[in-house]
Structure 1
Amino acid sequence: MFIQTEPTPNPNVLKFLPGREVSAAPHEFLTSNEASVSPLAEALFALEGVTGVFYGQDYISVTRDAQGLEWTQMKAPILAAIMDHFVSGAPLLRGGDFNSSSLDGDDTEVVAEIKQLLDSRIRPAVAQDGGDILFDSFDEETGVLSLRLRGACSGCPSSSATLKSGVEQMMKHYVPEVTRVEQVL
């Protein structure tokens, strides 16, 4: 098994591409306690310096402690943990369906438009950088759209610029009801 690595705009996150599907739905683990539902995330959190794990469709983003080890010291153990997991045939998640659908039958027409634009245009671009962006809320009175960044995008130095110059401009263009985009932490 050959696993490629790619840098992300966030210097504390590295993207690992195992050459196969990782997860049909994105999943993020920010603590070792959260990681207990995933054998792979649990193994990665057991490694020194790992502070976050994110599963995309065909990649795994690993976040390191900015004050800890360098990627040159961490990459080999992470690659070994990922390879061991996929070779073992263990499931990615233990029990239950953790799928988080982005469409809700109770959405207004504007919210449905926003979610469709996020899923079709924005999320694929953000995934290329090892992250994800999720709808949080939309205030129809003020036009303020709140979004959550996950994976490599969470805490990335360029995330606010991406939200303002990229996401906000696109949303305003396609969904005129949106007046501003904010990040929910």
Structure 2
Amino acid sequence: MAREESPAAPDWRTTGERIDTLIAASGSGGVIARERSEELVRLVADFYGAGLERLLDLVHQQGRLDDGVLAALADDELVAGVLLVHGLHPYGVETRVERALESVRPYLGSHGGDVELLAVTDEGTVRLRLLGSCDGCPSSSVTLKLAVQGAVEAAAPEITSIEVETADDEDAGAAGPLVPVDSLFARLHAESGTAGDGASWEVVPQLSGLEPGTVAQVGVGTMRVVACRVGTDLFAFEDRCARCERPFEGATLARRLGGRSGDAILRCAGCRAHYDVRRAGVCLDGDSAHLAPLPLLSDGATVSVSVPAAVAR
């Protein structure tokens, strides 16, 4: 007799989103029902967290928790995410930040830039230096927001702030006043008339009312753009999957299991590839593919997208 195939396992990246939905739905039964649902999730998480901690202790006692095993745990996205939630990640915050920067360096390098980790302070501040074309570029703040900041925050959610030093600070001979992340965005707004590299800003009315957690495909000039909103943050990419090279028709947005509520994974409906929206669209399926992010500007009423001059109106 042929063996019966087991049903396909659910995509773990959508589990966190489903948990949030169920807890929100429990609120329809009143405050007490919602509180009980939240307590149940906490108790189950604590139960499995204690089990994971004991499991690691046993492996360590047997002398099996060597560097190779620790690296394998840290490299597995699902396992690392669960360990991070329970404070059991095998690497400290500085190592995790450096590994996060390493993951976005291929993307930065494709644009002639790089980033250097200067320090992680006891107060939880990550100090970085932008290098190459990322330093002084009109879109450096967008690069930081889409790639570097998202990668660091996902790897080390316990950090309190990110500060950036530029090459100009070093050349001036000063210790270099560090630039808070938020202040970098003022540069972009001040230069809203141009987007750099021959690009131009195009107003896209369809994106102003985009609801959180949704994905939209829009035309900007002759270019197709896929956009998604994560909380109050809006992200845009060229509408082409880096793996199957098809548009993101039917794409969905979800949260990774064990991640924070702000995590956002864009899933291609065609080839089922997964992309981290906050990390410049890096592919999460074990290869170096990444989407092509597009800078955005919003003044609260309108949203503009930076597109190459060749495809602008």
Per the shorter chain, which TM-score range?
Answer: 0.3 to 0.5
Q: Which has the higher contact order (CA 8 A, sep 6+)?
A: 1
The structure with the larger Rg is 2
